[in-house]
């Protein structure tokens, strides 16, 4: 039985632009389904009627199946392009970044690997901005950028904090200095996207630092 990439007809996606557009459309569809799933899970907690509980469980199974179908379609489309396949291989070599996050980065931030580190952090909405007014200077915060990229990096940063020794040491250093856990985690998200940018730019896999 042919995969979903067959029904998307990747052969018709003759240019990198059309392939990228298809990946972005699939990624947007996946985000919509993920939002629907989160809303249903929240609503499910307050349901009392067995009928509604049953229908909600059924809809959740549908959503999970649809997400899996989109993931398969994205994977197959990436596999049709040697350059994108190489990008995926590099991205998933980074502890904390799995197939789904790698696909999102490829789809939603195609500039990755071609920008300066500050540019890619700003593009992902992870560059710190400081409020200033005359001589007064306030705390730094993040804003702008592609918010869905920033949101998608949250869970990978949590995983990296536990399993990526380089990033874990950064996280612990920040929290030891009194930084709030959320601030430290945002710093890891920024480090992750910058690391991905550097590795793609240099066309190399992630390797742990040797001490």
Q: pLDDT tens for residues 133-184?
A: 444 444 544 555 678 888 888 888 888 888 888 888 888 998 999 888 888 8
Rounded to 10 deg, the angle between the 82-92 and 50-79 helix axes is: 120
pLDDT along the chain (211 residues), means of 10: 48 67 95 96 94 96 97 95 96 92 92 89 75 47 69 87 84 89 88 93 87 49
Give the pLDDT of residue 144: 58
Say what the pLDDT of residue 84 is.
95
pLDDT for position 138: 45
- At 178 the pLDDT is 87
Which residue in 65, 71, 63, 64 sits closest to 88, CA to CA?
A: 71
pLDDT at 143: 55
pLDDT value, residue 128: 66
**105, 189 Cβ separation under 8 angstroms:** no
* Number of Cβ within a 10 Å radius of residue 39: 10
Other Cβ atoms closer than 10 A to 148: 17
For 138, how many CA atoms within 13 A lie in the half-sphere containing its CB?
7
Question: Which is nearest to 153 in space by CA: 181, 200, 209, 194?
Answer: 194
Helix, strand counts (H, E) of the chain: 10, 2
Q: How far apart are CA 91 and CA 183, in angstroms?
A: 24
Q: Judge if pTM exceeds 0.75.
A: yes
Classify 177 as helix, strand or coil.
coil
Domain borders along the chain are: 4-80, 85-211
């Amino acid at each position: 039985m042919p995969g979903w990439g067959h029904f998307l007809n990747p052969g018709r996606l003759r240019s990198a632009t059309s392939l990228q557009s298809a990946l972005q459309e699939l990624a947007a569809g996946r985000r919509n389904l993920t939002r629907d799933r989160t809303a249903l899970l929240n609503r499910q907690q307050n349901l009392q009627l067995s009928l509604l509980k049953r229908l909600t469980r059924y809809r959740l199974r549908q959503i999970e199946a649809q997400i899996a179908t989109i993931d398969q379609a994205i994977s197959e489309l990436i596999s049709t392009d040697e350059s994108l396949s190489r990008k995926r291989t590099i991205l998933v070599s980074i502890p904390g970044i799995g197939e789904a996050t790698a696909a999102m980065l490829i789809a939603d931030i195609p500039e990755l690997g071609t920008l300066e580190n500050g540019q890619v952090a700003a593009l992902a909405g992870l560059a710190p901005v400081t409020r200033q007014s005359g001589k007064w200077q306030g705390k730094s915060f993040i804003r702008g950028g592609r918010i869905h990229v920033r949101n998608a990096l949250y869970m990978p940063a949590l995983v990296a904090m536990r399993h990526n020794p380089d990033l874990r040491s950064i996280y612990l250093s920040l929290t030891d200095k009194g930084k709030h856990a959320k601030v430290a985690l945002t710093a890891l998200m920024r480090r992750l996207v910058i690391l991905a940018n550097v590795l793609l730019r240099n066309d190399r896999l992630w390797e742990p630092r040797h001490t």
